[in-house]
Amino acid sequence: MAIPFSRPLALSQGDPAGIGPDITLMAWLRRRELGLPPFFLIGDPDVLALRARQLNLAVPIREIDKADAAIGMFADALPVTSVPAGIEVVAGEPHAATAKGTIAAIEKAVSLVIGGEALAVVTNPIAKAVLYEAGFRFPGHTEFLADLAARATGGPVTPVMMLSGPKLRAIPVTIHIPLRDVPQALTEKLVMETCRIAHDDLRQRFGIDAPRLAVAGLNPHAGETGTIGREDEDIIRPAIERLRDEGIDAIGPLPADTMFHDEARARYDVAICMYHDQALIPAKALGFDDSVNVTLGLPFVRTSPDHGTAFGIAGKGLAREHSLVAALKLAAQLGRTAESRR
């Protein structure tokens, strides 16, 4: 028998003109079939109701003031904590006037989880360009969440992005920077810090007692002992050696072109990659619909669907809820595991 949840998941609406409302409605409709953990949306209930009508989805929507009200209500209605969008939202037509509400929904989700009222944060996709137009000063979701966490705890927070799917977990050490800047951004300290956070979160939240880390090289053939670039020998290898001295099971640097076939993946729990596409291409190729974006290194659990706002299909009945479903399930699993290990 499944253990009932005492706290729901807090799901932010994301950009209200994107597919966040669509996939939220679709996920709730499949709650019984898929055994979804209880969640509530933080966003504009009018946007949600309009999108339900556009998509011809029979989803009763009820506003709540307290997160715990979502537990008893979830079976019969989609609970919503109201954060107004700011304008009348048209599916597929993003507008900077909605940025304030989008940001407020994320802030509310974090405050409820840090305050112990919700189990974990799940975020629907945002459009960074829309937020930038309104003065948003963070590169993206991850950095904003880290800032919120740092403000709440009063301590430094280093966020680490992981894509977690049924066949592969992958982490990029550097993320949203130009490829030409990666060699300069890579440092022994950064590689070590990323690996330490991955090791700790795999233990505390994923329940892996002795995580195995496979660390990719930066250059072709992992630098071929320094003949195809020195970064692998001068930065990555020393970092791995120091990690192993600390008791962390890290191997590498490994040639990235031989790290992701079935036999290779069986030998590790997470791939630590040196740049964005080195991690995300194999992760998405091996699990496009059911991979989840997980932020490690935060004092709370945060997951997100592994896709964007998809304005072109919003409100048209073409969106798929699979990645959001996976994000909700993983958030609940990680939240419960973290609780059990405290």
User: For the chain, first and last CA: distance in Å?
Assistant: 24
DSSP 5-49: PSSPEEEE---TTTTHHHHHHHHHHTHHHHTPPPEEEEE-HHHHH
Q: Would you say 221 is a known binding-site residue? A: yes
The greatest distance separating any two alpha carbons of the chain, rounded to the nearest whole angstrom, comes to: 63
| Rounded Cα distance, 280 and 201, in Å | 19
What is the edge-to-edge ordering of all strands in the sheet holding 212-216? Answer: 61-63, 78-82, 39-43, 9-12, 121-123, 302-305, 292-296, 160-164, 169-172, 270-273, 212-216, 249-254
Output the pLDDT for position 2: 54
Distance of CA 183 to the CA centre of its chain: 25
Instruction: Identify the three-state secondary structure at position 273.
Output: strand
Q: Would you say 153 is a known binding-site residue? A: no
Q: Would you say 24 is a known binding-site residue? A: no
Q: What's the pTM value of the predicted model, to 2 decimals?
A: 0.91
CB of 157 closer than 8 Å to CB of 257? no
Q: Which two tokens stand for residue 115?
A: 């305050």
Q: Would you say 66 is a known binding-site residue? A: no
Q: Would you say 293 is a known binding-site residue? A: yes
| Rounded Cα distance, 222 and 78, in Å | 50
Output the pLDDT for position 1: 38
Output the pLDDT for position 140: 81
Output the pLDDT for position 112: 95
| Mean pLDDT across the chain | 93
Greater model confidence, 140 or 321: 321
Please report, to the nearest 10 degrees, the dihedral formed by the alpha carbons of residues 276, 280, 281, 282 taken in order.
130
Output the pLDDT for position 338: 78
